[in-house]
Chain A
Amino acid sequence: MIRQSEGLTSRFDWPLFIAGVLIALMGVVNLYSATSVYQGVVAERYISQLYWLLGAGVVGAALCAFDYRHIERGAYIAYAVGIFMLLIVFVLARDVRGSARWIEFGSFRFQPSEFTKVMLIVALAKYLHDDPKNEGRSLRDLAMPAAITAVPAILILRQPDLGTAMVHVFIFLTIAAVTKVSGKSILLFTGTAIIAAYVAYHFVLLDYQRARIEVFLNPEADLLGRGWHAHHARVAIGNGELLGNGYLKGMQNQFLFLPDQATDFPFPVFAEEWGFVGALVLIGLYLFLCLWSIRVASQARDRFGAILCVGVTAMIFWHAVINIGMTCGLLPVVGVTLPLFSYGGSSVSTAMLGLAMVMSVSMRRNMVRPERF
């Protein structure tokens, strides 16, 4: 134990830390620009974002000092707490633009569906840690993890919040992909998924969600209605060209053509002001963060840690890809934030929490086989 704690500080994962901090700082700088066109509370969001980052940083530091194996023990409890919070949303929730996603305590409010992603990851990691298999997994072997995923996903879908529900499912699929699933199972699963998607599109999705997908498939049809967000986000990105309009000079942003610049659409603000070069740097950081976390997973000294890292990586990856993808017109517009970069306490805390767990795994990784993945 002594040797281990000695190694802790020396094993601090600087690359992971620096990549995360860089993204977060770029986010704050960008947030300042995104809200600079407003006055009052909105213009001071970057300050509260800084407080959130600091607060989450302190919690995260505590968390990585703490052996992640303790988390393993409380995994299902954390999961149950997450589900409980989601249920509370239905009772206490305040309506924000037609969907109920928040829990409020006075002036403090948070979005449980952000945190349940981490709790889901922990629960899935725990389940797969306890269920080692060396032969190929059949679909039945994945039934339980699927069920663990389905409960929060369905609750979130009912809020309704299609984007976050999908991220939950994608996290599960990514984790399932690391396990040894048999070829037959994959085929079977793909078939089921296609049917399920069809059924979901026609019977489960709400009108506005369907409309968003339709707008995505045919964006020019409704430039002034629902296509507005997608169209102007795309124009803003393109307007950045190679080097950008310059900081605080993004035209589409400054002239209010971008919706939700702080939360869901910070990337167009950034891409417009910093251009293709700036966007490459930001995406490069995300790519590095993901690949580094996968590397940490590959070096984890137990199944729990590995799944934990894969889950957090999946969360970061899907969030980043869906968010940027939707702003540049590759994907339909859904309410998914850009991790660490977007404004929002819940979003930032969740990402920090996840990365703290990766850090925790990294600091305790298996040094015997520093394997290249």
Chain B
Amino acid sequence: MNLSYQRSDTSEFRKRFRWIALFMTLGFFAIVGRLFQLQILEGEENHAIAVENIVKHVTLATTRGRIVDRDGVILADSRESYNLYAVPGRLDMALTWPKIADYLGLQQKERVRLEEKLTKIRDDKDDPRREQQILLKEDIGWSANVILQEQAADLPGVSVVSVQVRYYPSGVAGAHVLGYMGEVSAEVLPKLRAAGYIEGDRLGVAGTERAWESYLRGTRGREKVLVDARGRRRQDPGGIIEDADRRIDPIPGRDLRLTIDAELQIAIHQAFKSELAGGVAVVEVKTGRIIGLYSKPSFDPAALSGSFGRSALTDAFRRLYSDPLKPAVDKTVSGSYPPGSTFKPFTALAALEKGLVNPRQAIQCRGFLKVGRKNYGCTHVHGATALHRAIAQSCNVYFWQLVNESQVGMDVIAQMGQAFGFGQKTGLGINAEASGRMPTRAWMTYRNKGRYLTGFAMNAAIGQGATTVSVLQLALAYGVVANGGTLYQPQLVRAVETSNATVVQEFSPRVRRRLDLDPENVKLVQKALVAGVNEEGGTAFRARIEGVDVAGKTGTAQVGHKLVRGIEAERVWYFNRDHAWFSGYAPSAAPEVAIVVLVEHGGAGGKHAAPIAFEIIRAYNEINGKAGAKPRDAPRSSARPGEPAPAGPRGRQGSP
């Protein structure tokens, strides 16, 4: 070893080597420092971000509860509808989008519209929707769904979510009772988020669907899944998600068993065929359970729920609100009408209970009554009329004389009317209920600017003037007459059940109040109601059906003559026609159900409302295997298999 190995002088560099070495050491130390920061100090944080990157929360749809009738016949159920969602930020507009548009078979116009929507979100850096799933198209159909599911691996950023939409097998026959569903609106969504609603959810917006939403809805489940950066689902290699935390199963909504009889409901729909508008209520007199509740014009709840797509939905809504007959209004609870002569039994009971009248004492009806300078006309000349015939044949003069000569005042009538539930909401719980009006003397005086006229009480006695009632109120009141004095709370939902028909909660009948009526007086009125249908001269006598046992009272309520806004002159005659009523119960000897039929602007009650009522009672008897009905050959519940094709009044409207 000697110096000769040193070929050239490297002394120029000698001092610099250690600086270079120091510099490099510091360089690597800087990196180690940074790694210490990332991996040790911020390690947990970064681990959380990494987990968050790959763990996605998938919500699991729940099933909305069914609504079934008293026998389990399905009134409302859900079916699958496939909705297409996309994450705009992860969608390849050049490759994936044209494929999707093809699979969906989009029209050029819709395609351009959706494309613009997507591009706009993609281009806006601040738009949080860029990385969220947005709804592209609803109800893409089963075949498009199958194709998209098959191609899912090649379509990053796209997903098909199946949601459930409602269908209503009895269709229009029970539309107002059932209600319909609607997408949760942007205005109420913030309030509902806490209850687990998200954008695109549907909820009941009318009828039972709305009132019992919290029972029907069910609770979503959720699942944690692993998704890679390209949006594909991946298996958990182990330990990323804790097993206990992986999945929460959805809880299906509760089924509702209504008191409604679907078969009767369809029979009512059929019976009402020849009339344009009105309402029917059929209530069990010993329980207050509603077995039939029908309002016309009706609507298709499935179309309004959006089950047939968007255009069918807008169409249905346009019809709902442009029709002058107001299909949106539930005529059985939301409308209030002057009861007309159907109120007379209550006036009679008021007079009898106060002992103001001798039921056997007759008055002379000459077809009119002159009070002061005014002539009040009766329907026709009844001659010598006592209470029985006055009700059965609907003599106005008799009831006017009660006011004029027997001191049956405004407040006597009002007191009795209120006892029967008029002027108060029934507490049915679905749809907006009208309370109607049972005017007192003080109220009339106040409304007439301090002047009280005897005419007010005369009007009240025959159910005209300021008195208004709803169809359901009247039916419940007739139920009181039929059962001898018990006013029931109307009941629509009989039980809450699980999807396999296990009863969770059953609702028993609730008495609203017991009226302390003299059974003798009730019997008098009952007899008069039986006569109204079954005796020659009774107002409903001509409409009666042989073998159908009904007691009741017709009514022809005058309508204030006025030009209804927004209706052409040619149609005014219709809106000025009287409302036709029939109120009663059946069977007459041992009453089971009270029935009220209102035909809006139908004309005379005996001619237009009574036949419908009798037809409905005939159907009721038939359904329940009563005398006068044809023998029943088919099992009742359509939920059972092997049933012969439904025919006649049982024919189903609407389909899933």
Contacts and interface: CB of A to CB of B under 8 A. Distances in A.
Nearest to A179: B12
Contacts of A133: 12
B116 interface: no
B50 A328 contact: no
B25 A241 contact: no
Contacts of B1: 367-368
Interface in B3-46: 3, 5-14, 16-21, 24-25, 27-28, 30-32, 34-36, 38-40, 42-46
A369 B38 CA distance: 43
A174 B43 contact: no
Given A179-B13, A241-B43, A328 B34 contact: yes
Contacts of A373: 17-18, 21
B655 interface: no
Interface stretch (A107-115, A150-158, A198-206, A251-259): A251-259
Contact of B28 (A180, A287, A329): A287
B25 A291 contact: yes
Interface in A220-256: 224, 232, 234-242, 249, 251-252, 254-256
Given A238-B38, A276-B36, A373-B17, A254 B237 contact: yes
A287 B7 contact: no
Contact of B34 (A134, A236, A256, A329): A329
Interface stretch (A26-34, A97-105, A298-306, A340-348): A298-306
Contact of A239 (B5, B16, B46, B226): B46
A296 B544 CA distance: 122
B47 interface: yes
B249 interface: no
Contact of B17 (A178, A180, A236, A237): A178
A320 B6 CA distance: 32
Interface in A257-297: 257, 271, 275-276, 279-280, 283, 286-287, 290-291, 294, 297
B454 interface: no
A185 interface: no
A366 interface: yes
A101 B24 CA distance: 29
A366 B9 CA distance: 12
A330 B31 contact: yes
Nearest to B131: A224
Nearest to A236: B50
Interface in A311-330: 313, 317, 320-321, 324-325, 328-330
B292 interface: no
B500 interface: no
A128 B19 CA distance: 19
A303 B11 CA distance: 9
B445 interface: no
A300 B10 contact: yes
State which size class the interface on B falls in: 35 or more
B53 interface: yes
A170 B470 CA distance: 93
By DSSP majority rule, is chain A's interface helix, strand, loop, or mixed? Answer: helix
Contact of A368 (B5, B17, B49, B228): B5
Given A224-B89, A298-B14, A256 B42 contact: no
B54 interface: yes
B269 interface: no
B32 A283 contact: yes
Contacts of A367: 1, 5
Contacts of B30: 325, 330
Interface of A: 69, 129, 132-134, 174, 177-180, 224, 232, 234-242, 249, 251-252, 254-257, 271, 275-276, 279-280, 283, 286-287, 290-291, 294, 297-298, 300-304, 306-307, 310, 313, 317, 320-321, 324-325, 328-330, 366-368, 371, 373
A146 to B, nearest CB: 18
A359 B255 CA distance: 83
Given A300-B10, A302-B10, A367-B5, A255 B35 contact: no
B440 to A, nearest CB: 71
A224 B35 CA distance: 23
B230 interface: yes
B58 interface: no
B12 A242 contact: no
12 contacts: A178-B13, A224-B89, A238-B45, A238-B46, A239-B50, A283-B31, A294-B20, A298-B17, A301-B7, A306-B13, A321-B27, A373-B17
Given A321-B31, A367-B1, A235 B46 contact: yes
Nearest to B52: A235
B305 to A, nearest CB: 38
A328 B16 contact: no
A229 to B, nearest CB: 11
A367 B21 CA distance: 21
A299 B49 CA distance: 49
Contacts of B25: 287, 291
B569 interface: no
Nearest to A134: B12
Interface string B457-485: 00000000000000000000000000000
Contacts of A237: 35, 38-39, 46
B6 A255 contact: no
Contact of B44 (A129, A241, A300): A241
Contact of B237 (A240, A249, A304, A320): A249
B31 A276 contact: no
Determine the main DSSP class of B at the interface with A. helix
Contact of A252 (B44, B50, B234): B50
7 smallest CB-CB distances across A and B, nearest first, come from: A238-B46, A241-B43, A302-B7, A239-B50, A255-B228, A238-B38, A373-B17
Nearest to A222: B125
B51 interface: yes
B607 interface: no
B6 A366 contact: yes
B31 A238 contact: no
Contacts of A324: 31
Given A134-B11, A283-B28, A294-B24, 11 more contacts: A232-B229, A237-B38, A239-B43, A240-B43, A241-B44, A254-B228, A256-B230, A283-B35, A301-B6, A310-B13, A371-B14
A190 to B, nearest CB: 15
A255 B44 CA distance: 19
Given A236-B50, A251-B51, A306-B13, A301 B5 contact: yes
Given A134-B12, A303-B10, A321-B31, A251 B20 contact: no
A224 to B, nearest CB: 6
A304 B8 contact: yes
A235 B39 contact: no
B78 to A, nearest CB: 36
B240 interface: yes
B38 A368 contact: no
Contacts of B8: 129, 132, 302-304
Contacts of A242: 39-40, 43
A275 B47 CA distance: 12
B1 to A, nearest CB: 5
B448 interface: no
B2 interface: yes
B496 to A, nearest CB: 45
A237 B32 CA distance: 12
B228 A132 contact: no
A174 B34 CA distance: 23
Given A242-B43, A279-B35, A366-B5, A132 B130 contact: no
B12 A294 contact: no
B102 to A, nearest CB: 27
A317 B24 contact: yes
Contacts of A290: 21, 24, 28
A367 B341 CA distance: 130
Contacts of B49: 235, 238-239
B333 to A, nearest CB: 54
A330 B7 CA distance: 42
B229 A240 contact: no
